[in-house]
Amino acid sequence: MSALRKAGTGRNETSGGTAGDTAKIAVRNLTKVFGDAVDEAVALARDGVGRSEVQRRTGSTVAVYDVSFDIEPGELFVIMGLSGSGKSTLVRLLNRLIEPTSGTIDVDGRDLGSLDDAELRDLRNRHIAMVFQKFALLPHRTVRQNAEYGLQIRGTDPAERRAKAEWALEQVGLAERADAYPGQLSGGMQQRVGLARALASDTDVLLMDEPYSALDPLIRRDMQKLLVRLQKDLRKTIVFITHDLNEAMLLGDRILLLKDGRLVQVGTGPEILESPADDYVAEFVSDVDRSRVLTAADVIREPRITVRLDENPADVLVRLGQAEATGAYVLDDDRRILGVIRDDQLGYAAGREETSIDPAVLVEEYRTTEPDRPLIDLLHRVGRNPVPLGVVENGRLTGVVPRGAVLAALSTHADAHGLDPDDDGHRNRSDRNEVA
Ligand SMILES: Nc1ncnc2c1ncn2[C@@H]1O[C@H](COP(=O)(O)OP(=O)(O)OP(=O)(O)O)[C@@H](O)[C@H]1O
Ligand SMILES: [Mg+2]
């Protein structure tokens, strides 16, 4: 089950612990109050008084309260919440554009609170770049000059910054438009220039505050794909803010859910879907398209039975019966699929007292998938075969996806639908032929 995206399960219990050694960004007990009545507001928040009530009683706003989490190197970490939940405040705290009321932020193990002004400037120039929703492009400078801008501020020499800007424009697919002016570009292209500027700065962290919310859906999808590709290719740590849960689920390795400045849950999309922390989250995720979020790896099972060619057909037939299966994958020593053997073929071979399985009788009655395929792509592949859908990674069978598991995962009320999540989709042959 090496493919499981859930490998990171358990990483979300960071609050209260010491800052993780391996974390790119470690946030501990971070609180930000806007206004003068700081102590009073914090005391009320500690007693569990909600933000609007605190505001009414003190005139101060608890924008972020007691938030702790770790972001791993190379992770695409999404911060998600409704308008006013504190997302922008949190991301601005991460690069110290605003000062926390209390709590700490470590980047690469360095406490930001201990940095002086010059070190902070260096941090923003070299380590953490920020992309905003409305990127501040300079209208009278070309796309290339805009992409170079961060480097220019840093004092990088012209030849080097030009080379880096052109590389960055190449990454976002805008190399051809380097001499255009921002006003000549569409909104999506302008956003890509903003992204190129951040990339040219060659920082290892990118903070992106709702960069795509002003884009229309098709362009937005392109930008999402671009971001996923860049993260994979460039191994950046990306903190991506959105109020769109579907976008969060699509992009995030993990998602942090904020509500009224408080952390409600941190986890992978599938974790949040499968075990929402409370009713608020459950309500929130109820209209997420589970078929696009959950993947084969989320519903993978051990196959009930697999077989090798040197096994005795009569013995295999008994095991098949015990597994309540009508067929089994036949694997070689490297777990590569040689084919499928059906019970009727085994019965025939057993009757002739054969001592091993004849490779010539294996059938191709199976379908396979890669572990990261969303369930929506699997719906037409599960069932209708003597063996469940095979999950294949690097040519090897790592598990199976029974039809019942897919259907159960797609239904939040599996019980109500009378589905058995352990139904392997093993059906009897007459059923299969009927459908064929
Ligand atoms: N500079 C400020 N002074 C006073 N209050 C502020 C300031 N910045 C934010 N707030 C308040 O803090 C709370 C969180 O705001 P924030 O902008 O972080 O939310 P957000 O999740 O980014 O919202 P949106 O989705 O609308 O961008 C809000 O109540 C907001 O009014
Ligand atoms: Mg905001």
For the record, the structure tokens of 336 come out as 């590569």
- The whole-angstrom separation of Cα 42 and Cα 61 is 10
Q: Could you tell me if 236 and 206 are in contact, meaning their C-beta atoms sit under 8 angstroms apart?
A: yes
For the record, the structure tokens of 263 come out as 């952390």
Q: Does the beta carbon of 63 lie inside 6 Å of ligand 1?
A: yes
**How far does the centroid of ligand 2 lie from the alpha carbon of residue 100, in Å?**
17
Quick one: pLDDT at residue 419? Answer: 41
Nearest CA to ligand 1 atom 31: 84
Higher-pLDDT residue of 193, 16: 193
* Residue 221 phi, psi (nearest 5): -60, -40
Query: What share of the chain has pLDDT > 70, as a percent?
Result: 89
Q: Does the beta carbon of 34 lie inside 6 Å of ligand 1?
A: yes
User: Across all residues in the chain, what is the average pLDDT?
Assistant: 86
**How far does the centroid of ligand 2 lie from the alpha carbon of residue 53, in Å?**
21
Burial letters 230-250, b for 16+ CB under 10 A, else e: bbeeeebbbbbbbbebebbbb
Mean pLDDT of 245-263: 93
Q: Does the beta carbon of 55 lie inside 6 Å of ligand 1?
A: no
* Residue 363 phi, psi (nearest 5): -115, 165
**Candidate of 89, 212, 239, 259 to mutate for ligand 1, largest count of ligand atoms within 8 Å of Cβ:** 89
Mean pLDDT of 327-354: 95
- Is the pLDDT at 401 greater than 80? The verdict is yes
Q: Determine whether 363 is exposed, middle or buried from the number of CB atoms within 10 Å of its CB (0-12, 13-18, 19+).
A: middle
Q: Does the beta carbon of 89 lie inside 6 Å of ligand 1?
A: yes
Higher-pLDDT residue of 181, 416: 181
In 173-296, at which residue ranges do the beta strands (DSSP E only) sit? 205-209, 237-242, 254-259, 262-267
**Candidate of 87, 90, 94 to mutate for ligand 1, largest count of ligand atoms within 8 Å of Cβ:** 87
pLDDT in tens, 6-16: 333 333 444 44
Mean pLDDT of 350-364: 94
Quick one: pLDDT at residue 37? Answer: 95
- The whole-angstrom separation of Cα 380 and Cα 291 is 12
Q: Does the beta carbon of 84 lie inside 6 Å of ligand 1?
A: yes
**Domains of the chain and any CATH numbers:** 5-288 (3.40.50.300), 297-435 (3.10.580.10)
Q: Does the beta carbon of 73 lie inside 6 Å of ligand 1?
A: no
Residue carrying the six token digits 């010491």: 18
- Regarding beta strands 368-369 and 110-111, do their DSSP bridges make them parallel or antiparallel, or are they unpaired? unpaired
- Is the pLDDT at 104 greater than 50? The verdict is yes
pLDDT-based confidence at residue 124 (cuts at 50, 70, 90) = confident
Higher-pLDDT residue of 132, 74: 74
pLDDT-based confidence at residue 338 (cuts at 50, 70, 90) = very high
Nearest CA to ligand 1 atom 27: 83
- Is the pLDDT at 342 greater than 50? The verdict is yes
Ligand nearest to the CA of 83: 1
SS3 343: helix
The side-by-side arrangement of strands in the sheet containing 254-259 is 128-132, 205-209, 237-242, 76-80, 254-259, 262-267
207 forms beta bridges with 130, 239
**How far does the centroid of ligand 1 lie from the alpha carbon of residue 88, in Å?**
7
- Is the pLDDT at 424 greater than 50? The verdict is no
Q: Does the beta carbon of 132 lie inside 6 Å of ligand 1?
A: no
- The whole-angstrom separation of Cα 181 and Cα 341 is 64
Q: Quick one: which of 240, 177, 176, 231 has its CA closest to 204?
A: 231
pLDDT in tens, 153-166: 888 899 999 999 99
- The whole-angstrom separation of Cα 342 and Cα 426 is 11
What does the angle CA 430 – CA 434 – CA 436 come to, to the nearest 5 degrees? 115
**How far does the centroid of ligand 2 lie from the alpha carbon of residue 90, in Å?**
9
- Regarding beta strands 389-393 and 396-401, do their DSSP bridges make them parallel or antiparallel, or are they unpaired? antiparallel
- The whole-angstrom separation of Cα 181 and Cα 134 is 16
Quick one: pLDDT at residue 1? Answer: 34
**Residues within 5 Å of ion ligand 2 by Cβ?**
88
Nearest CA to ligand 1 atom 7: 34
Mean pLDDT of 234-255: 91
- Is the pLDDT at 282 greater than 50? The verdict is yes
Mean pLDDT of 8-27: 60
pLDDT in tens, 31-58: 999 999 999 999 999 999 999 999 999 9
**Candidate of 33, 54, 61 to mutate for ligand 1, largest count of ligand atoms within 8 Å of Cβ:** 61
pLDDT-based confidence at residue 267 (cuts at 50, 70, 90) = very high
For the record, the structure tokens of 342 come out as 């059906």
DSSP state of 140: T
Mean pLDDT of 26-35: 97
* Residue 176 phi, psi (nearest 5): -70, -20
Q: What DSSP assignment string belongs to 61-101? A: EEEEEEEEEEE-TT-EEEEE-STTSSHHHHHHHHTTSS--S
Mean pLDDT of 276-301: 89
Mean pLDDT of 169-173: 91
Burial letters 269-308, b for 16+ CB under 10 A, else e: bbbbbbebbeeebeebbeebebeebbbbbbbbbebbbbbe
Q: Does the beta carbon of 326 lie inside 6 Å of ligand 1?
A: no
Which atom of ligand 1 is closest in space to residue 85's alpha carbon? 21
Terminal alpha carbon distance of the chain = 32
Q: Does the beta carbon of 50 lie inside 6 Å of ligand 1?
A: no
Ligand nearest to the CA of 209: 2
SS3 338: strand
Q: Could you tell me if 381 and 369 are in contact, meaning their C-beta atoms sit under 8 angstroms apart?
A: yes
Q: Could you tell me if 152 and 188 are in contact, meaning their C-beta atoms sit under 8 angstroms apart?
A: no
- Regarding beta strands 76-80 and 102-107, do their DSSP bridges make them parallel or antiparallel, or are they unpaired? unpaired
- Is the pLDDT at 239 greater than 70? The verdict is yes
Q: Number of C-alpha atoms within 13 angstroms, CB side, residue 308?
A: 6
Nearest CA to ligand 1 atom 12: 63
- The whole-angstrom separation of Cα 251 and Cα 217 is 15
Q: Could you tell me if 348 and 357 are in contact, meaning their C-beta atoms sit under 8 angstroms apart?
A: no
pLDDT-based confidence at residue 421 (cuts at 50, 70, 90) = very low
Q: Does the beta carbon of 203 lie inside 6 Å of ligand 1?
A: no
Q: Does the beta carbon of 61 lie inside 6 Å of ligand 1?
A: yes
Which atom of ligand 1 is closest in space to residue 243's alpha carbon? 25
**How far does the centroid of ligand 2 lie from the alpha carbon of residue 92, in Å?**
10
**How far does the centroid of ligand 2 lie from the alpha carbon of residue 166, in Å?**
30
Higher-pLDDT residue of 240, 234: 240
The side-by-side arrangement of strands in the sheet containing 25-34 is 61-71, 25-34, 102-107, 110-111
- The whole-angstrom separation of Cα 381 and Cα 390 is 10
For the record, the structure tokens of 300 come out as 């993978």
- The whole-angstrom separation of Cα 28 and Cα 15 is 7
Nearest CA to ligand 1 atom 14: 86
pLDDT-based confidence at residue 135 (cuts at 50, 70, 90) = low
**How far does the centroid of ligand 2 lie from the alpha carbon of residue 212, in Å?**
12
